[in-house]
Amino acid sequence: MTIKEQVNKIKDNWLLIAAILVLMIFMSGTGQLLTSNTFEMTKSAIQGVSGGAYYRDVADGSYGNDNFAPEVEERVVIRDSYISTEVNRGEFNNAETKIKSILKTSDAFLLNEDVNQYDEGWKAYYTGYYQIKVPTDKYEAVISQLKDIGEVTSFSENAIDVTGTYTTLESDLELEKARLLRYEEMFNDAIIISDKIVLNDRIFDQERRIKYLKESIDNIDKKVDYSQISLTLNEKRSEYVDIAVVKFSELIMRLVGSFNTLISLVFMALPWLVLYLIFKFVTKKK
């Protein structure tokens, strides 16, 4: 078949070719639409399993107060504070011993301790950083005792009411447990293998979500039962720390500096001296 005959053949069947092209374009758009819908469904499923943005906020500690649950009488409050105290020179070790004694008698936990020495010799002084977890019912007493150690230079306290968040988590946990029971009943009654596979996946996701909710509730319980105290203990620096005998090299530098200043003044005054001598000479001639 020649090229001319092929062109004529195409002209005769142009309507069929156009229909095929339209069908291909339609199928391509439908495929993209299905892909987009599948992506959104997968995204929604993942958010549903992970608990969504709300549960992520609970996990990373950024509790919201939009749902503060005013009907709940027993409030769930997380408290933490920061204290900075200063003790006299030579009393740092004694103050540190008092801190650990207070924690021991209060059944508190010292989570982190970082003590650093700065400078050397008679200039040396210490600074300590302590992260403490104390039972909430003994929180006020511990704060009061820590304030008595040295001079308080800074104090701040924060309290977050998470009653709404806590109540919602407990309600969601009960709902998810009930949903898990329904999935398990459906799995036991299912006969078709494909149905069992789908239900098994849903049971797995449901168990994972229930575990996540339990961990979130447990995390809040720990923060409510044990308040956190961040303590900084500073030792005063010596009053004579900045006093030192001047070095010979510094004296030489100052002498050279003074000499340079004197030379500069001489050269600055020289033009005026010349002008004065000329004026005196002219006046004398007259």
What is the phi-psi region of residue 190: left when phi exceeds 0, alpha when psi lies from -120 to 50, beta otherwise?
Answer: beta
Q: What is the tally of helices (H) and strands (E) in the chain?
A: 8, 5
Residues 26 and 114 placed together within one structural domain of the fold: no
pLDDT score of 101: 93
161 or 53, greater pLDDT: 161
Averaged pLDDT for residues 5-10: 56
Residues 31 and 87 placed together within one structural domain of the fold: no
Averaged pLDDT for residues 81-102: 92
Residues 106 and 13 placed together within one structural domain of the fold: no
DSSP 247: P
Residues 83 and 192 placed together within one structural domain of the fold: yes
- Taken in order 145, 148, 149, 152, the sign of the CA dihedral is positive
| pLDDT tens readout for residues 19-45 | 566 556 545 544 443 334 433 433 343
27 or 166, greater pLDDT: 166
* First-last CA distance in the chain: 128
Residues 168 and 224 placed together within one structural domain of the fold: yes
| pLDDT tens readout for residues 212-229 | 999 999 999 999 999 999
Domain membership flag for residue 260: no
| pLDDT tens readout for residues 98-153 | 999 999 999 999 999 999 988 877 778 899 999 999 999 999 999 999 999 989 99
Averaged pLDDT for residues 232-236: 91
Domain membership flag for residue 238: yes
222 closest CA partner among 76, 65, 81, 112: 76
Residues 20 and 146 placed together within one structural domain of the fold: no
Residues 240 and 115 placed together within one structural domain of the fold: yes
Lowest average pLDDT, out of 123-132, 193-202, 222-231, 233-242, goes to 233-242
Q: Which domain holds residue 21?
A: 3-47
Domain membership flag for residue 259: no
Averaged pLDDT for residues 58-85: 72
Domain membership flag for residue 276: no
Average pLDDT, the chain: 78
Averaged pLDDT for residues 231-235: 93
Tokens of 88: 């006299």
| Extended strands (E) in the chain | 77-87, 109-118, 125-135, 151-161, 226-235
What's the rounded Cα separation, in Å, for the pair 161 and 223?
12
Q: How many domains does the chain have?
A: 2
Q: Is the pLDDT of residue 253 over 90?
A: no
